[in-house]
Every structure is written in structure tokens, then in C-alpha cells.
Amino acid sequence: MSTPRSVVLERLAYTVTAPVLAAAPNLFPDSPVNTVVQVAGVAGVGAWVLAARPQTTGAGRKILRWSPLVFAAAVDIAARHTIGWGPWCLDGILAAGWAATGLLVMPFSRHTRRSHRPALAAPAPAPQLQPALAPTPEPPAVQLDNGADALTRQVRRLWENRGMPGKTIVVTVDPHEGMPNDLTLLLRASEAGRPITGLTDEAVAAAFAVDVSDVRIEDVVRQYGRESGPGWKTVHVTPDLNERRRATPTTREWWADRVASGPVPGSEFIKKVRDHGRKVTHYIAQVPDEMGEPRINLHTLASALKTKYDEGRLFITVDGNQILVSLWDSSPLAQVFPATRELLTPDKDGRWVTGYLGNGQPARNRVYTDRGAAHGLFVAPSGGGKTQLMALHVAADALFGAVVMLATEAPDEKTAALGEHTARYGVGALYMIRLLRVLVALMEIRGEMLWDDGQVHEWAPARPGCPYRMLSAYLDEFLSAARNGDYGPEIMDLAELVSVKGRKYGVGLKVAGQSVYVQDGFTQLLCENLRENCIPVVLKVAPKKITDMFRALGIPAEYIPDPLPRSFSAAEAGRIERVMRGEPEPASDSNTGGAGWIVEGKEPSVLRTLFMDFKDGIDGFFPDTVATLTDYEIRELEARDLWFDWTEPPRPGEFGPEPDDEDSDGDWDDTPRKSGRKKTAARRDTVTSPRQALEAIRNLSSV
């Protein structure tokens, strides 16, 4: 082995430098060589200090490496301070000792150097060709044998005979109580430290000869003292459970299989409640918070509950992420809810029961709001229950103590009966315009009336000292009157004015009609004002009009309801037999009158209004005395020539200046005057009181 070049050079440096260290201080005391040697010694001391730090590695080797410089400086200083070459030639002895010491410590200071040249190695022998060896077969994975019971050993043998699906080993087997063929297996990878990647439901089902739907593979739940992770799996094989679940599922299982997987995706069943008294079954469920608002398919949900969506038996209530599914034995909308005086009497907040929602809750309306007197909007086709609904509101206002006035465009028996319990009742567009003029004048009059504290205030039911009563004015068949050629434009203008300002003076405007469309004459301003200050009720709208009707009421598209069925009664069974025998179908029970929607919030709710039986009399629903305006209000109206018999023909100058005699051609029947008087109007105005209207109707019905 040859000596590295760096070692040879270092040895030569020690040998050559030793005489210089001894001679330089004695022969040339002021030589720069002495200065260089001493500076090198100082550098060596500094290197010692750095090497001695705690965080420095290899401190001993570094100190040995720098020691020749320090000792060389020491020899130089000693030689300069001795006389001559010193006693017994001490300077030469020190220099020779320095060289010997350097040669001695050199191996210890170089043994861990990173950049030293390695020794030359002997040449490697040429590779020899070896005969090919037969591959060693991989030893088969051995199943665990830890004193398991007979069932576990049997399953392990079966698992091994089936080829160990997914290269897994059966660790434990847990049977299910009462299910002889159901098992839960704990598996791990046959190779330690390897994940289980090839295990599938099909492979496990084939191993146990069961259906794929009877197998469920899960990750191992992490537990203290037991391994988990991708190298472990839990397998449930449950053919008996699934067979029982298909035949007689529990409510929770039925919900998971039939509802959570389709009609209400992701929902979790909470509980089922049966109300035997009301004959309704409630299902309560919820969806995870991260799913947001539940998504519900009503038609598929009705199918899962074995009903039809249009039977009116199924109702959904959503509250955040919770869902209430109410399934009635028979549609609550097909029931009749008799009106009572207790239900119609407003409470301390001005609310009263106008009917019942599809989920069985009371549907409430109000006689006033926090902004003043409440308006009203009733929309229904002919025969939809509009007069019944209006009667409920009239009774509630009367029981609250309000002054009620009623004007209708055309007389009928029910409105005439209601008129007996109002302060004023009349028929025709002329009567309606006079009523609206009085409402506008009352707003001016009430705006100047002083309260008990001597101040003028906006009307509020809870504020004491009010000098007047709340006033509710009902306008039946409003659009028909608004289309009147003589009075229609002013009727609409006055109605808009009352809808804007009336609430502040305790004046509520209740409008009833068959439409709220702008194209039918209902202005957007009037519709918006009524909508903002009332709880509209819409009854029995034709299917093709529902979208436009609720859009006109400001309902967002996602909350527009589906049409109501033509009948809430279930179809009679045996239709095939009737067809085979050639028998006619039974008559459809048209029992949807009074059914519709109440719009209190952003979403309409289905309701059935209370029923007030006019045939048995309605006196019991009203107070004994009819509230009227105060004497001061009547005097002010008389001073304005507005308080008189509104059924009489138009007064001279009431609707503008009278035409000159020469402008009239004498044809009274064919050419109406500017005042709006017509021959037909005079005939309609012959009814001067509610009792006369009832008598006229009875006479007509007896013809």
C-alpha cells in the first residue's frame, strides 16, 4: 500500500521547519520569520478556543491538528529569550522535539479527515458465471391459530379454501345473535405492513355464496390497544338480517331504504309519532348540517308512503335541517271546521283563527299589525268560498269592536245577511265610491282629532286615549266595480290612497275579488300596499293561474305551490269491476270550497277556512250591538256633504257639474249624464237597506 502524497509533504515540512525554528531567533532576532511564526501560534490558540465550544464536533482532533502551530510559536519565543543557543543547546533540542511531536500526533489528527485520499485497493476479481438456480417458492401465508373457537376455525378454513380474497387473513369472527347465518369478520392483510386493496363486496359474497347486497365492508374503527389503518377491514355478512329487513323492516330501516335513498336524500330518521285523536302519523327526520336545506321530492315521497300527492293527505314542514312529514288517515282539507265565536275573537295581539293548515295547525289572521290597521286581500273564483272567508273577517273585526262597512258590486243572500251586522251596507259601484270617499275624508278628520293627552297620534290599539274606533271597509267584487265606466277610475284611485295612508288612521281596506292581475285592472301599487299590510288568502285557484297569481303577490318562484286537487275524497275502489259491468263512475265530491293558501311569510301554506253556516243563522258570531262612527266624525262628514243615504241616486253636482238643458237630447235611457246616472243604476239603487236586499232576494227565489 503506497503512502498518500499529503502525508509525505507534511512529514517533509516538519523536518525542514525544525532547524529554522532553532536558528532564526539566534541568528536573525529581528527577522520577519519570527513574526510569522508567532502570528501562526496566535491563530492556533484561536482555533483551539473555537474547537473547544460545546456545539463543535471533533474537538480533540481539531486541537491536535492546530497544536503544531502553537508549539512552534512557543519554541520561537523560548529561543529568543535564551542566551545564545541556550544551555546544552536547548534551542535545538526544543526544535527537534517539536518536529518529533508533530510527526507523532499527525496520524491522530488525520484519521477522520473527509478529503484524504483513500488507499489503493486491489483489483476486483472478474465475475464468474453461476448456474441458474430454480426460484424458491414463496411460503404460503399461514392463518392465525390462537386458540380460536370452532366457528372462527371453520370460517378461516372456508376463507383459505376460497383463495383468501384480497390476500387477507381472518382474525376474528363474531356471530349475530338470533341470525344463524350473519357474521362480522375482522380481516388483516396477509403480508404485514401492506394495505388491503383487492377486497371487494363481490369477492366476499362469492366466498360465502350470498348476494352482493348482503355484504358491507368498512374501515376498522380505531381503538386503544388494537391496530387499525388500511391494513385492516371489518366485513359484515348479513343475509338473514337483509331478508328480515325486506320482509318486516323497522321504521328506521324503512326510512333508510325507501326515503333516505331517494325522496329525501341523506336524511336520518329520528322518531315516529302517532296522534290517534287527530288520526295523523308524524315522521321526524333531519339531514346533516353540511347538506344545507333538505331537498324533498314530494311525488316519490308520497309513493313511499303509499299515498298519492294529490289526495291531500301528505304535508311537509321544514325547520332548518329538520323535516316533519305528516300523513293523515284522510285529508284534513276535506274536513269541515265549524266556526265558533271563541275562534273568531281576536287575542291581545289582534290575531284570530281563520282556519286550519294542512299539518293541523291553526291558521291565524289579524285585525291590526304593528304598523296600524290591517288591510285584507281575498282572492277566489266563483264558488270558492270567498263570501264565507269575508264573513269570518267581518265577524272578527266586529268582535274586536271595529266599525265595519260593506259594499258589494252585486247583491247575494250571504252578503245581505252580513250587512245586518255592519254599520253600513250597500250594493253597486255608486255605493262603493261613496264609501271610499268617506274613508278618505275620515283620514283627514282623524288626523286632526286630539287624543286624551291633547296630542295627535297615529292609531295604535294599545295606546290609551284614542278618540275613534278602528274602521274596516269591505269591497266585494272590487274589480267589477273598478271596471265601471262612470265610477271605476275614481274607485281605483281612492282605493290606492286608502291602502297607502289608511293604516295610520285606523282605517283598514279589505278587498275581495277573483283576480289580482294588473291586466285585469288591479294596479301594482294597490296590490303591493295590501300585500305588505295584510295576510292574503287565496282560495281554489285554477291550475293554470297559480303561477301568475302568486307571482303577482310577490312569491318567489321556488315557493309557488302546486295546484290543489279537484276533490280531497279518495277515489272509490272497484273501478275495474264497474268498467267490466258497464256501470257509471260515482259522482266526484267537490269539497274544495274554502281550501286554498294563506300567505303570511314568503311561502304559502295550504289551509281550510272555518265554516260559518248561514242557514242556521250567523247572529251568534257577532256582538249584540253594531259599532258606529263617533258623533264628531258624523258631523264632520255631514259638513262635507258625505254622510247621507248612499243608496239614493247621484246628487246634483256630486260627480261634477250638471249638463245644460240644451245639451241634453231628452233620451234619458240611452245617454247617461256626466254625473253617471243610468237607468240601470237607478234600478239597482232601489235596495235601501240590508233587510230590503234580503227580501228582494227571497222574492226572486220564489218566482
The pLDDT tens digits of the residues spanning 601-634 come to 888 998 999 999 898 899 999 999 999 999 999 9
Cell of 87: 544551555
Q: Can you tell me the distance from the alpha carbon of 166 to that of 206, in angstroms, rounded to the nearest whole number?
A: 12
Q: Which helix (H) or strand (E) holds 637?
A: helix 631-639
Cβ neighbourhood burial of 420 (10 Å; 0-12, 13-18, 19+): middle
Closest of 544, 553, 563 to residue 298, by C-alpha: 563
Which cell numbers in the block locate residue 595?
A: 281550501
The more confident residue out of 14 and 395 is 395
Indicate the residue among 88, 110, 132 that finishes a domain. Answer: 110
273 forms beta bridges with 282
**Given this model, what pLDDT does residue 65 score?**
66
Q: For residue 689, is pLDDT > 60? A: no
Contacts for 690 with CB less than 8 Å, ≥ 6 apart: 416, 417, 419, 420, 422, 425
| Residue 194 reports pLDDT greater than 50 | yes
- Whether 497 and 407 share a structural domain: yes
pLDDT band at 289; cut points 50, 70, 90: confident
423 within a domain of the structure (yes/no):
yes
Of 648, 663, 684, which marks where a domain is finished?
648
**Cα Rg, the chain, nearest whole Å:** 52
Q: For 557-599, write each residue's pLDDT tens digit.
A: 888 888 887 766 666 667 788 788 887 877 665 556 688 899 9
Q: Poorest-confidence range of 5-19, 307-321, 468-482, 493-507?
A: 5-19
Query: Measured between alpha carbons, how far is 654 from 676 in angstroms, rounded to an integer?
Result: 10
Q: How far apart are CA 610 and CA 337, in angstroms?
A: 5
From residue 130, how far is each of 125, 127, 133, 496 by CA, in Å?
14, 9, 9, 109
CATH code at 354? 3.40.50.300
Query: Does 582 map to a domain?
Result: no
Which phi and psi angles does 363 have, rounded to 5°? -95, 120
Tens of pLDDT along 62-102?
676 666 766 666 776 766 666 656 666 666 676 676 667 66
In a domain, 144, yes or no: no
Arithmetic mean of pLDDT, 141-169:
80
Evaluate whether residue 584 is within a structural domain.
Answer: no
Show which of 225, 245, 265 is a domain's final residue.
Answer: 245
Residue 684, classed as helix, strand or coil, is helix
Shared domain for 10 and 94, answered yes or no, is yes
461 lies in the same domain as 558: yes
- Give me the mean pLDDT over the 95-120 stretch: 55
Q: Give the integer Cα–Cα distance in Å for 242 and 215.
A: 10
Residue 90 cell numbers, joined: 536547548
Other residues' Cβ atoms within 10 Å of the Cβ of residue 509 = 31
Check pLDDT > 70 for residue 49: no
DSSP-H helix ranges across 345-466: 386-400, 413-419, 429-446
- In 3D, which of 197, 244, 512, 181 has the Cα closest to residue 378? 512
Lowest mean pLDDT among 103-117, 231-245, 287-301, 307-321: 103-117
Classify strands 605-609 and 595-598 as parallel, antiparallel or unpaired.
antiparallel
Note whether 628 and 423 are within 8 A (CB): yes
Residue 120 lies in a domain: no
| Single-letter residue type at 656 | G
| pLDDT tens for each residue of 156-177 | 999 999 889 988 999 889 999 8
Same domain, 486 and 606: yes
Is residue 6 over pLDDT 70? no
Looking at residue 180, what is its pLDDT?
Answer: 87
**Whole-angstrom distance, CA of residue 516 vs CA of residue 548:** 9
- Could you tell me which residues come within 8 angstroms of residue 696 by beta carbon, excluding any fewer than 6 positions away? 411, 687
Q: 467 and 539 share a domain?
A: yes
At residue 318, what is the residue type? V
Gap between the Cα atoms of 372 and 189, Å rounded: 76
| Strand blocks (E) in 259-321 | 268-275, 280-286, 314-319
Please give the Cα distance from 488 to 611 (Å, whole number). 33
Query: Same domain for 320 and 356?
Result: no
C-alpha count within 13 angstroms, C-beta hemisphere, residue 350: 19
DSSP 162: T
Selection from 157, 165, 270, 277 nearest residue 215 by Cα? 165
For the record, the C-alpha cell of 185 comes out as: 369478520
Q: Are residues 559 and 609 in the same domain?
A: yes
Domain extent, residue 309, equals 249-330
**Residue 425 β-bridge partners:** 406
Question: What is the predicted pLDDT for the residue at 311?
Answer: 80
Q: Are residues 487 and 556 in the same domain?
A: yes
Put the strands of the sheet holding 362-366 in their side by side order: 362-366, 351-357, 605-609, 595-598, 537-539, 376-379, 507-513, 471-476, 403-408, 424-427
Domain assignment present for residue 373? The answer is: yes
Both 436 and 553 in one domain: the answer is yes
Report how far residue 128's alpha carbon sits from residue 522's, in angstroms, rounded to the nearest whole number.
107
pLDDT tens, 233-254?
A: 999 999 988 888 888 888 998 9
Same domain, residue pair 296 and 386: no
CA angle, 487 then 489 then 491, to 5°:
65
Angle at 45 between CA 42 and CA 48, to 5 degrees: 155
Nearest alpha-carbon partner for 333 in 647, 113, 551, 561: 561
The predicted pLDDT at position 678 comes to 35
Alpha helices in 146-278 (DSSP H): 150-161, 201-208, 239-247, 251-254
Contacts of 20 (CB under 8 A, 6+ apart): 33
Q: Are residues 474 and 367 in the same domain?
A: yes
Q: Please check the confidence at residue 437 and state whether its pLDDT lies above 70.
A: yes
What pLDDT is attached to residue 146? 61
pLDDT digits (tens, 9 = 90+) for 363-389: 999 999 988 999 999 998 887 888 999
pLDDT at 340 over 90: yes
> If you average pLDDT over residues 546-555, what whole number do you get?
86
Residue 176 carries which side chain, given as an amino acid letter? H
- Let me know if residue 363 belongs to a domain: yes
Q: Which of 339, 325, 309, 316 is nearest to 609 (CA)?
A: 339
Distance between CA atoms of residues 552 and 533, nearest Å: 15
Q: Are residues 57 and 93 in the same domain?
A: yes
Measured CA to CA, the distance from residue 268 to residue 143 in angstroms comes to 40
Higher pLDDT, 182 or 668: 182
- Contact call for residues 502 and 509 (beta carbons, < 8 A): yes
Does position 144 have pLDDT exceeding 60, yes or no?
no
Backbone angles phi, psi at 84, to 5 degrees: 65, -135
pLDDT band at 140 (very low <50, low <70, confident <90, very high): very low
Count of domains for the chain: 4
The reply to whether 586 falls in a domain is no
